[in-house]
Structure 1
C-alpha cells in the first residue's frame, strides 16, 4: 500500500482527515522520508501532496522544512554538495576547496579529500593513505566516481606529466 494511502486511511480512522487538526503531532521519520521522496524524486508537487493528504501546502512546507532539520546520512550530506551531470560529465564539488581546486569534506571531525571520499562511498572500500585517487578527467574538483581510480603516487605523477599538468621550474 502506498504511504499516502496508508496515511490517509489512518487519519480517517482517527476521524481526522486533515493533518492540520493534529498540529502538535510530529510526523515520523518514515513519513518525512516518504514526503521528501515523493516531492524530490517523484516530482510530486506540494499542491498534489497536500491534496492527497487532505491538508494544506503550509503543512507540507512545514514537513519539508523539518526534513532539513532531520539528520542527513553522511552520503546525503556529501552528495548535496555536488552538481551532478550525466555519467560522462564531471560532477563539480560545490563546497570548500583547497588552493589547488580539490574539494574538501568534513567527516568524523577530520577534513578529507572529496574525490577520495566519493570513490570510497561509491565502491564501499577504504583506500589506504599510500594510494592516491586519480582523476581521468584532470579536473581536481570532479567527484564523479566513474572518473576516479586508485593509483600510486608514481602513477599519478606520470599521468600528470603525460597530460601536461606538472609544474616546470625555470
Structure 2
C-alpha cells in the first residue's frame, strides 16, 4: 500500500502522492507540516471540559459552529434549553424570547401569558378529555369547551374520525347513545362552546334554523348567513388595527378566520 509522501504521515495515498487530508490542504494553500487532528468516531470533543460527541475536526457540532463564527472555543457552551421560562411559576424549558413554547405562542397571539396552562391530555377516554377541557360547573351554568373551536363550537379529535363537535360528544356520552341520523344537538343556552348536557337538546336542522332566527332575527339575512352589524364590522377592523391577529378576532366574534380576514380587509361589507 502506498502511503502519503508527507513526512511522518502513514495515511493511504489519495492523489498526487498525498493522503486526503494533505491533498485538501495543498489545494487550499494550507501548510502541509502542521499536525493533523485525528477524527475518532464515537469520541468526544477535544475542547477541555466538553463531553459532547464528535462532529468533525476533533470538535462537537457546537464548537465547530463557534470556530466557523470566530467565537472563542473556551467560552460558555450551555444550551438555550437549559434556561427556564421567565413566567413566574413556569418550569418549562426556554424556547424563545425568554419564554417556553406554550407562553411564547400565547404572547404571539396576544393572549394572557399569566393564565394557567392546562397540560395536554393524551388519552382515548373521551369523557376524561371532555371534562379536562370543559370543566364541570354548577348545573345551570355553561360548561364551556376551552380548546380548539370551529365556527364557535368546540372541536375534538376522535379516533377513527377527523374532528367532531364537543357538544355532540357530550350529549352522546350523557345519554349513552349515538346521535340519530338526521338530527342535530341544539343549545338551549345559545352558547356554542357549552357542553353542559342540561343545555343540550335534540332537534332537526329546521328546528335549529328556527332557534337561530328567533334568538336574533336582525342578525341574519334572508340567506341564513350571519349578517354583521356596522358596530361589529367597525370593532373587528379596529381590533386588527390595534394589533390583534385574525385568529383572536374570529374567536371573539365566533366566525371563521377567513370571514374575519374578508371583513378586516374590506372584501366583505365594503360599504362600511
Query: Which of the five TM-score ranges fits, normalised by the shorter chain?
Result: 0.5 to 0.7
Residue number in structure 1 paired with 2:131: 79
Choose which of 203, 215, 220 in structure 2 pairs with 1:167: 220
Contact 2:121 2:129 in 1 (8 A): no
| CA deviation map 1:115-142 (0-9, x unaligned) | 0000000110101242110000000000
Higher relative contact order (CA 8 A, sep 6+): 1
Q: CA deviation at 1:85?
A: 1.7
Q: Which runs of 4+ in 1 moved over 3 A?
A: 68-72
What is the TM-score normalised by the length of structure 1?
A: 0.54
Q: Which runs of 5+ in 2 are unaligned?
A: 1-119, 228-272
* 1:102 paired to 2:124: no
Other-structure match for 1:158: 210
Establish whether residue 122 from structure 1 lines up as the match of residue 174 from structure 2: yes
Give, in whole Å, the separation in 1 of the partners of 2:147 and 2:123: 19
SS at structure 2 position matched to 1:138: coil
**Match status 1:148 vs 2:208:** no
More helix by share: 1
Q: 1:158 to 1:83 in 2, by over 3 A?
A: same
CA distance in 2, matches of 1:138, 1:95: 19
Distance in structure 2 (CA, Å) of the matches to 1:148 and 1:74: 18
One of 141, 144, 149 as aligned partner of 1:89: 141
Alignment partner of 2:164 out of 100, 107, 112: 112
Paired residues in the alignment total 102
Return the offset for 1:74. Answer: 2.4
**RMSD between superposed Cα atoms in Å:** 2.3
TM-score by length of 2: 0.35
